[in-house]
Amino acid sequence: MIEQHPYRATIPPVPSETPQPLWSVMIPTYNCAHYLRETLASVLSQDPGPEVMQIEVVDDHSTKDDPEAVVRELGQGRVSFYRQPENVGYIKNFNTCLERSHGNLVHLLHGDDGVRDSFYGKMQQAFEKSSDIGAAFCRHISMNENGHWQCFSTLEQPESGVIENWLEKIAVINRLQPPSMVVQRSVYEKIGGFDSRISCCAEDWEMWVRIAAHYPVWYEVEPLALYRVHSSSLTGRCARTGQNVRDLRQIIEIIQPYLPQANASDLSKKARENWAIYAIRDITPQIFAMGDLTATITQIQESLKCSNSSKVMKELISMLWRTGKISVKNIVKTAVISCSDNDL
C-alpha cells in the first residue's frame, strides 16, 4: 500500500519486468563534478557487479561543469547517467533518484560525499541480520573540501545493532548525514519521497524521523561514510536570510504527528531548543565573521523564534561574549522583540 501525500513524490514499485538487484547507489549531482571522481571511485572500488548493484548519477542540469564526462571517464560504461532536462531543484532531483532506483536497498550518495572500504558489505549484513528493519546507518566522518578528516559523528551505542528509542533521539536533532544511510526501497514506496515543502535544508532529517516512526533502524558502529563540509555551505543564502531556521521550524511542525502522543510536545520543544542553540552557536558567528551584520541579526531573530529558553539565551550571551564586537544592548533588544513565547 503506497501512502499518498500532496507534498511527497510517490515512489512506485519496480515494474515486474525490470531486473531488481540488491543495491541501487543513486548519486545526485549539481555543479560538483570536481568531487564526483572521488565519490565514484569510492563506490567502484567495492563494486560487486551490475547483477548486484545499480550505480547511477542523476544530474540536476549542471551548468558549471560536465559530470557526464566524469562518469564516462571513471565509469567506463559501468555507471549510468541521467541528466534532468532542466534544473528542478535538489528535492525533486533526490526524488528522481528514488524513482529511478530499482534495487532492494537504496543508497542516496551525494556527488561530493563518499564511502570507505566495506561500507556495502557491512550495511548488507545489517539487513541480513535483522530482516524487519527499514533502514540502517553507520557513523560518519566529516571532511573538508580537500578531503581531510575533521571529526567523527557521535557513537550512538557501543555495539552494532537495532538502535533503541531511535525515534525519540532523532526527533530532537539530526544525528547523521545522508551518505551514512541505506533504506529499503519498499520503505520509500510506503512512506513516499522527500517533502517538497522544505526549501533550504534538513530535508533528510524529516525523512529519517519519518522512517523511524514506521520502522526499526540498525546502527553500525564503524565509521564507513564520508560527509563533505564546505566552508561556504553554512553561510550561504539560506543562512543569511534565516530560511535555514524557518525550514527547521516547519520541519518540527511536520514531524510532530509522527511522534508518540504522550511526549510529542516535549520532543518538539526540545527540538526547537536544540536547533536554536545550533544556529546561534555554529551559524551566527560565521555570518558575523563575514561582516554581514544584517544577516547576523536575522539569524538570531529566527533562532529566537524557534526557542528562547534559558539555555538558548545562555548560548546567545556566550556567543556575544566570544565575538566581543556586537552591541549587547542592541542584540538583547532584538531578542526581546523576537521572542514569541514566555520561556525566558
pLDDT tens for each residue of the chain, 344 residues long:
445 688 999 999 999 999 999 999 999 999 999 999 999 999 999 999 999 999 999 999 999 999 999 999 999 999 999 999 999 999 999 999 999 999 999 999 999 999 999 999 999 999 999 999 999 999 999 999 999 999 999 999 999 999 999 999 999 999 999 999 999 999 999 999 999 999 888 999 999 999 999 999 999 999 999 999 986 665 577 888 999 999 999 999 999 999 999 999 999 999 999 999 999 999 999 898 888 889 999 999 999 999 999 999 999 989 988 877 555 556 656 555 555 444 44
How do beta strands 161-162 and 53-59 pair? unpaired
**Same domain? 253 vs 214:** no
What is the rounded CA–CA span in Å between residue 10 and residue 25? 19
Instruction: Cell numbers for 180, please give them.
Output: 551514512
* Alpha-carbon distances, residue 334 vs 91, 277, 301 (angstroms): 33, 17, 7
Helix (H) and strand (E) counts in the chain: 14, 10
In whole angstroms, give the CA distance from residue 242 to residue 130. Answer: 41
Which among 167, 173, 152, 171 has a CA at the least distance from the CA of 221?
A: 152
Specify whether 58 is located in the same domain as 205: yes
Verify that 182 and 280 share a domain, yes or no.
no
Sign of CA dihedral 40, 43, 45, 49: negative
Burial of residue 180, with CB atoms counted within 10 A of its CB: 0-12 exposed, 13-18 middle, 19 or more buried: buried
C-alpha cell read off for 113 = 560525499
Predicted pLDDT at 342: 42
Q: Do 192 and 328 reside in the same domain of the chain?
A: no
Q: How many domains are there within the chain?
A: 2
CA atoms of 219 and 284, how far apart (whole Å):
32
Nearest residue to 331 (alpha-carbon basis) of 292, 296, 283: 296
* Co-location of 126 and 253 in the same domain: no
With respect to residue 4, please indicate whether it lies within any of the assigned structural domains: no
Per-residue CA distances from 328 to 227, 245, 318, 333, 342 (Å): 36, 22, 11, 8, 21
Alpha-carbon Rg for the chain, nearest whole angstrom, is: 21
Statement to judge: residues 130 and 274 lie in one domain: no
Q: Are residues 133 and 61 in the same domain?
A: yes
Task: Work out the angle between the directed axes of helices 243-255 and 264-278 (0-180°, nearest 10).
Answer: 170
- Cell numbers for 318, please give them: 556566550
Q: From 228, 257, 289, give the residue that closes a domain.
A: 228
92 part of a folded domain = yes
Any domain includes 258: yes
**Same domain assignment for residues 219 and 129:** yes
Q: Which domain holds residue 271?
A: 247-338
The Cα 80–Cα 170 span in angstroms is: 34
CA distance 208 to 206: 6
Same domain? For 29 and 124 the reply is yes
How far is the C-alpha of 34 from the C-alpha of 270, rounded, in Å? 39
Q: Quote the CA–CA distance of 199 and 175 in Å, as a whole number.
A: 20
pTM of the model: 0.93
Residues 91-130 as b/e (b if ≥16 CB within 10 A, e otherwise) read bbbbbbbbbebbbebbbbbbbbbbbbeebbebbbebbeee
Please say which residue of 228, 255, 283 terminates a domain.
228
Same domain, 71 and 168: yes
Q: Write down which residue in 228, 260, 295 finishes a domain.
A: 228
- CATH number of the domain within which 105 lies: 3.90.550.10
Q: What is the pLDDT of residue 341?
A: 47
For the stretch 325-331, contacts whose Cβ atoms lie closer than 8 Å and that sit 24 or more positions apart, written own/partner, are 325/288, 326/288, 326/293, 326/296, 331/297, 331/300
